Amino acid sequence: MRGYTGTGAALYVSRGVSGGASPAAPQAAWVVAGNGRGEGRAAYEPGRIRQEEPRMATAAPLLSPLSQLSRAVSDWVESVRALTQPAGVRWCEGTDAESGELTSRLIREGELTRLNPEYFPGCHLYRSSPSDVARVEHLTYICTRSREDAGPNNNWMDPGEAHAKMRELFTGCMRGRTLYVIPYCMGPIDSPLSRCGVEITDSAYVALNMMTMTRAGRPALERIARDGKFVRGLHSIGELDPNRRFIMHFPEELAIESFGSGYGGNALLGKKCHALRIASWQARSEGWLAEHMLIVGLESPKGETHYIACAFPSACGKTNLAMLIPPASLPGWKVFTVGDDIAWLHPGPDGRLWAINPEAGYFGVVPGTNPETNRNAYEMIRRDTLFTNVALTADDQPWWEGLPSGVPVTDWQGRRYDPSRGPAAHPNSRFTVSAKRNPSYSPRAEDPRGVPISALVFGGRRREVAPLVYEARDWPHGVLVGASVASETTAAAVGQVGVVRRDPMAMQPFCGYNFADYWRHWLEVGAKLSRRPKIFHVNWFRRNAKGKFLWPGFGENLRVLAWMLDRCSGRVPAAETGIGLLPRPEDLNMQGLSVEAASLRALLAVDPVLWRKEMADIRAYLEKFGSRLPAELLAQIETTEHGLENLAAG
C-alpha cells in the first residue's frame, strides 16, 4: 500500500483491495480533501497524479472508506479535528505496508535510525525526550463524578475540571501535524472476551507501536461498527513539556485523554490506559477481571498442560517468566507464551476462569536481556523490532546493559558514551515487537475462547520476609495475598528506585477505581466460580545477610511452577504455616541444581517476628480504605495472625 506523504488536508481513507482479490492486484490509496468524516472530493493518488473519479480498471471493487464504517467514530474524529486543527487526517488500515511507509518517513525525518541490517534486519531505534522516559503516575488521573469511586489509590480530578484543562491543551495542538486515527481491538478480533477502542494521535511513532501492540485497522473498526461501543483515546505529544503533561481517564465515559508525552505507557493508549485502567472499570460492571498478569502454558513430561496467570510489578521478571526456557536438568517440560503483561479473566460456563491476552505485541524492558537470562526474548528482538532509548555500537547495533559483548559508543540520548554520565541504555529502555516473533509463542493466544487458568500467582521484589513460594488457604485468603503484594520500586516509573511499596495485585498504578471496591469484586468473582484456580505467592529475589540472591531464578523458576501444578492436581501435600501452605523441601525437584540445603531452608523459612510486623503493616495499609474495605480481608488478617502465634509457640 502506498503511503500518502503530501501536505494539506489529506485523509488516508482506505486501500483499494477487497476480499477475493488476487495478492498481485493493484492497490490504491484514496485521499479526501476535506474533513475527518470523509466528506469532500475523493481522488486516487499514485504519487502526485490525481484522478477525479475513483475508477480502477483492473482492481476488485473498493472497500468502503474507513471513515464511513462507523458514524459514531467519524463524528468523534471530526470533533477532534475541529479542536486540534491538524494539517491532515489519516485513517490507519494497520497493514504491514502501511507500517513500512510510516517507518520510511520517520527515517527520512530523522526520528528513527535504521539499525545494522546484517545483524538486526528490520530493526530501528527511537530516542525519546530525556524528560519523557517512563510512566508519570503523579500526573495520571482517574476522573469520576465521585472522588470515593476513584479511591485513595488514585489521583482524582473532577471530570468537568479535567475536560476543561485538557480542552485548553488540545486546542490547536496538531497544527502542521497529521492526525492519525487508529481503530484497534484488544484481544482476538472475533473473541467475545475482546473489547475495542480508537486512538487519535499526532505521533507516527505511537501509530507504529499501536499497529504492533494491538489488532489495529479495518477489522477492528468493522467490529466497532457492529458492537456500537468503543473506548475513545485522544493523545497528543504537545510540546513534550513536563509541566504540560497529563494522562486523564474517564471510566464512566470510556474515554482517555493524554497530553505532553510520547512515552509508551503514557501514549500507547491501548496498553495500560485502556487494557487496565478503563478495562478494570468495565470488568467490574460486566463481571470479569482485567489484570496486570502474564499468561503462560506449561506442559509436563507426562503431557499434562496447565495455564497460569502471574502478576508482578514492572521490571520484576514478567517477561522472563512468560518466555521461560526449561533448564536442561528438567527434560520433557515445554513452556508456551500466551501473554507477557496483561490478562483479561472471564468466568466460563464450566466454572473456571478463562483468560485472553488483549495485546498482540510486547513492549518489554531491554536491559538485562541476553541469551542466558531470556534466550527467547533475545532471539525475538533481533529482527523487526522497534527499540526505544537503547545505546548504539560503532556499527549501529543496539546495545544495553546486560549484553555479554559489544561496546557502546553512543548513549541513549545520542551523545558520545561516557560512563560518568550514567548507563549507556536507559534503565527503562524498551523493545516493541510482534508476539508472533516469540519462539515460544502459543497459537492459543488467538483462541477466541481464551485458555483455562489453573493457578494465579502474585509476587514482587522482597529482600526478606516473603518465602520463595507459598499457597493461599483459599480464595478469600488469596485475595488478601494479592492485596498485600509489596515490591521494591523499579525504573519503569518516575520516582525513587529501591523503595518498598504496596502494589496490590501489581495494579497500584493501573486500577481504574477504588481498591476496596476492586478487592470486593475479586471476592465476588471467586464466589461465582465452582472450579477456582489456586492462588500462590512467589519471591524470586530473597537475599542472604550478605546481599546475595538465594535462588538462581530465570529458567530454574520452573521447579517452583512444577510444585504449584502438583498442588493443583492434588499430587503432593504442603506444610501448613501461619501465612499459608509451603512446599516441603523434598517436594521441590532440585535435581541438577546447586542450591545449598541451608539456602533452601532459608528460602522456605517463615519468621513469625517479621511476619507479625508485616501483617501489622498490611492492616494499616488496608484500613486506609475505610468503610468500603471488605470485612473478609480483615478476617483473613486475623486468621493469619492467629496462625503466626501458633507457629511461634512451636
Cα distances (Å, whole numbers) of residue 518 to 182, 248, 282, 284, 615: 30, 20, 12, 8, 20
Q: Which helix or strand (DSSP H or E) is residue 356 part of? A: strand 353-356
What the block records as the C-alpha cell of 127 is 530516542
- Contact call for residues 126 and 111 (beta carbons, < 8 A): yes
How far apart, in whole angstroms, are the C-alpha atoms of residue 97 and residue 489? Answer: 40
Tell me the chain's radius of gyration from C-alpha atoms: 25
Give residue 167's identity as a one-letter amino acid code.
R
How far apart, in whole angstroms, are the C-alpha atoms of residue 254 and residue 229? Answer: 9
Q: Phi/psi at 601 (nearest 5 deg)?
A: -60, -40
How far apart, in whole angstroms, are the C-alpha atoms of residue 18 and residue 59? Answer: 9
Give residue 247's identity as a one-letter amino acid code.
I
With CA atoms as reference, report the closest residue to 202 among 250, 224, 170: 170
> Residue 471's beta-bridge partner residues?
536, 581
How far apart, in whole angstroms, are the C-alpha atoms of residue 313 and residue 358? Answer: 18
With CA atoms as reference, report the closest residue to 144 among 157, 125, 163: 157
Helices within 323-413 (DSSP H only): 375-380
Cα distances (Å, whole numbers) of residue 503 to 260, 461, 482, 485: 26, 11, 9, 5
How far apart, in whole angstroms, are the C-alpha atoms of residue 443 and residue 433? Answer: 17
Helices within 432-513 (DSSP H only): 475-483
Indicate which residues carry an active-site annotation. Answer: 316
How far apart, in whole angstroms, are the C-alpha atoms of residue 247 and residue 3? Answer: 30
Sign of CA dihedral 152, 154, 159, 160: positive
How far apart, in whole angstroms, are the C-alpha atoms of residue 306 and residue 275? Answer: 24
> Residue 470's beta-bridge partner residues?
537
Q: Which helix or strand (DSSP H or E) is residue 257 part of? A: strand 255-259
With CA atoms as reference, report the closest residue to 602 among 460, 471, 466: 466
